[in-house]
Structure 1
Amino acid sequence: MRVEIWSDIACPWCYVGKARFEKALAAFPHRDRVEVVHRSFELDPGRAKSDAGPVIPMLAQKYGISEAQAQAAEDNVGAQAAAEGLEYRTRGRDHGNTFDMHRLLHFAEEQGRQDELLQLLYRANFAEERSVFTEGDERLVELAVEAGLDADAAREVLADEDAYADEVRADEREAAQLGATGVPFFVLDRTYGVSGAQPAEVFTQALTQAWGERSPLTLVDQADADVCGPDGCAVPQQG
């Protein structure tokens, strides 16, 4: 079974939702037969790469609320993150463009290190004091190396603005086609969708239902026929 997760590094509920999904997956009896693929979704695709700023004023302006209300909302997310065993800085974080991070995640997918890099990006953005938005490409390279990627290869990806850009845009177009208007957005075998950082029990239910409704292979002709198998190929008999 294949589970695709559309998310953004700037999305706190994606950070929390990933932890809740992984809790459900860890207890799922068929977890070893579930492939998880992370897809790109930018919450603020029009934001310039150089435009980074504090989270609280951004939230207040975006939702038309006071900064005190925005801070209360951050405190709530922090409490829910803590309940999942996640570190979360409710003060002093910033916000910015995530396109380069998504490009790097597609490179990491090719190297089999996508989940490792995604988790490090989340940790860096939500739990650490250093910024992933204002320190330049070398900060992302550091995280790529920590995830097991080659530093020079990561620098080359980041230096080439076209590298993996089409893959990011393709993910975003596909999200729109599937009806995703926000993230996290989970798609199970292209049959079931789960929107938001749902409780682990909801993901358990979705995994169980999707697995149970997978269609077994139907053979259209049960008659004996020549085949090749582990022991070799059938040898035609002389008539």
Structure 2
Amino acid sequence: MDRRHREPLWRAIAAPADVEGRRDSWAQTVCLACVETLSHVDAATLALRDSSHAEEVLGASDSWAADLAELQYTVGEGPGVEAFTGGDPVLVPDLSVEQVRWPGFAQVALAEGAMAMFGFPLRFGAIRLGTLELYRRSIGGLPRDELRDVALAADLGAAALLRHARQAEEAGQTFVPDPVRSFHDVNIATGMLAAQLRISLDEAFIRLRAHAYSRNRSILDVARDVLGRRIILNEFAE
């Protein structure tokens, strides 16, 4: 990839942080630039992660990509999850051969049209912030030059996130990006379950996830049913 074609991606990463009240955030711009710049990529997401149940999808090139990110969050596995926990890129040029590796994720992702996925950790030194994930609707890997550019984009993106946070702090503000897919309702529902059933937050989250998976539903939809009192909390008791 020549410098001219890389420029939209580098400009997106170097852009200022989110503007309050706007959906076209920095992360959203980066994801759209990935699709525009990388000829073998159909969609992209950028997510902040902290643990297995602390995640916000800051940017997504389209709703299909955001849905795939939510699917990974629901089942707790997939290229993005593994890239974050392991700290190294996870490259999957053919998702159909990974159904043993990720039994809860691969089959449903394939049914949604995802044939290849690539997860890159957003890290700055030992600090892991999240992931940049790329999706293809056809089987195949990324050319060497695109792999190199995405790896660099992930590192620069992590540095940019830290810079945005530091600039907000210096201005006496809180850096709170506007996510395109928030899982805050899951955190609230998890707390409700933990209090009602007198179990730990981790155990409550596991039960919420298991309930969603067993019914082929999104954990976010289940969480909202919990908050709306449409599910009796005793259903989650052992």
Q: Shared fold by TM > 0.5?
A: no
Which protein is richer in strand relative to its size? 2
TM-score (norm 2): 0.30
